[in-house]
Amino acid sequence: ESVWSRTSKGLPGDHSAQWQPRNFNRAAEPYILPPAPNPTAPPPPKKPPAAAASSSSLHARRGWSPDAMAPTKKSKKSTENINNKLQLVMKSGKYTLGYKTVLKTLRSSKGKLIILANNCPPLRKSEIEYYAMLSKISVHHFHGNNVDLGTACGKYYRVCCLSILDPGDSDIITTV
């Protein structure tokens, strides 16, 4: 029976508790977590062109301006972009799907980009992020669950995490 079954529950969002061992000098090696995605920021509402005058004041009151839009939630266009890029990688590049192979590529530092579905279990997500932190490989959190990620890969099964080894013709590594 492995250690993981007995260890911390991996409460969603409460990542700080997991990586802070007690009884030692925190200042020696600070581990800075990647910032958790901000679920509280309200997505900017869609603006019909006719009501521009009245809604602009509304947005000004809300403190939102088109220039200063924080990229907390990707627009539909960006998700489509990622899907297209993934499609290209599937066609022309090298990749592996699935948790075990993703860890393998992380250990051997062969992966270039890791993509996680949003319903990936939090403990698994933390583990992959930790490995990626050690090996300095970037992780992308896909805006969709494992079913969507599998579909985006063109597969008929669910994919929770995948690792891109060689992007082929795609520029997914540089843009994401």
Q: Give CA–CA dist 115/102, Å, rounded.
A: 9
Binds other proteins by CB under 8 A, chosen from 103, 115, 128, 164: 103
Binds other proteins by CB under 8 A, chosen from 90, 112, 148, 164: 112
Answer whether 123's CB lies under 8 Å from 15's CB.
no
173 binds other proteins (CB under 8 A): yes
Tokens 């062969």 belong to: 110
Minimum separation from the CB atom of position 74 to other proteins (A): 23
176 binds other proteins (CB under 8 A): no
**Number of C-beta neighbours around residue 139 at 10 A:** 19
Number of residues that bind other proteins (CB under 8 A): 32
Supply the angle between the helices 99-107 and 122-135 in degrees, to the nearest 10.
20
Binds other proteins by CB under 8 A, chosen from 133, 140, 141, 145: 133
Q: Give CA–CA dist 115/96, Å, rounded.
A: 11
Helix (H) or strand (E) holding 99: helix 99-107
21 binds other proteins (CB under 8 A): yes
Binds other proteins by CB under 8 A, chosen from 13, 24, 35, 175: 24
Cβ proximity to other proteins: between 139 and 152 the closer is 139
Angle, vertex CA 33, rays to CA 44 and CA 133, nearest 5: 115
Per CB under 8 A, residues contacting other proteins are 1-4, 6-8, 21-25, 29, 31, 100, 103-104, 107-110, 112, 127, 131, 133-138, 173-174
